[in-house]
Structure 1
Amino acid sequence: MQSTGTPHQPSATRPRGPATAKLTLTAVSIALVFIVTYATANYTIPATKGYFDFGDVMIFIVALTFGPVTGGLAGGIGSAASDAFSSGSGVYFPFTLVIKGLEGLAAGYLAFRGSRWRLGISWAVASAIMVGGYFIAETLAIVGYPASVVDVFVNIPQVIVGGIIGIPVSQYLRRVLPPNMIYSRRSTPGSSPKA
């Protein structure tokens, strides 16, 4: 006898999958980088129209906790959005999108490689990308040389502060957050990087 019941229909309220959770986490990370960068950009450098901020702290926290993709997207989009809303800094938007995106990507990628010193290496490489990237962009396309040198002496302390605060905070988050939230390489699921 054939069943007269209606075919089973998938529930419209099924739980969200990992892709949705990842997208939400990335969106929140972008917002946090933007908020921290924009809220702390209190000192504009007259020679370059750039500014000192604590956005790199949040970029390192995000990249070292949630991995290269989230770190890259949050660093690039969140920081560039701050430029777009900061008076006189809009010219930096495309450069920041690339430079800060690569900073977050490099930090998140290298932090999970095999080296014992991976956190220090990831910080150093990401910092070099940020400082060097802005120096090149400002020299070639924004303010020219020697004005671009001024920002080097602003960006170096900025990434130093980013590492001093961002690295320990990310390590704390990796200990307390649920394993499915934090990034880990497939070969070492749930592991956390050590200095």
Structure 2
Amino acid sequence: MDGPFSINVYVLSRHQTVTNEWRRARYQPKVKGTTTDATVTDTNTLSHVHVPGLAPGVAYSMQRVHQIQKKIEKLLDSQPPSLYIDAVRRDYMVTHDTLNIQEPLTNIRRHQARVLCHQDSVLQLAGPNSKEWMDVDIVRRNIVLIIQGLEDLELQTMVGGHDELETCYKVGTLIYQTW
């Protein structure tokens, strides 16, 4: 079960003006030295990353993941970013050690995204008007899904068959991991 896997980050920074024109635009990664500042949009990817050394859709070892987590924590402690998810995929599918994301984007604005963490390693996302949850089946893999800076996030966990709903108003990082 151990080994490299893909990390997909879907965030927008407070410095990025979100417009329809921006959503339609196509960007290419800009790499300077060992620091990756990548904004990539195509039919299968939407990533805007401001974490040194972290690139979207790249496989990392567990040791590297822990290093990345520390960098993110340090980044949030030093300069808490106001980040939010502007859009998420309709379907999430895990195959082997890679988190594959397919289907067109579904726009979910801030204050409208909900995250459900299930005790059986299923992470689900849905908007307020969505009829169906979007499942991420971790299937006992060492997969980390990082969602940064969801404001007014409703974090719902399933414990013993009972729902426990917690609303988080502060900007932070949700790191969902299984190992």
Q: TM-score range by the shorter chain?
A: under 0.3
* TM-score normalised over the length of structure 2: 0.27
Instruction: Tell which structure's C-alpha radius of gyration is larger.
Output: 1
Which structure has the highest strand share of the two?
2
Which structure has the highest helix share of the two?
1
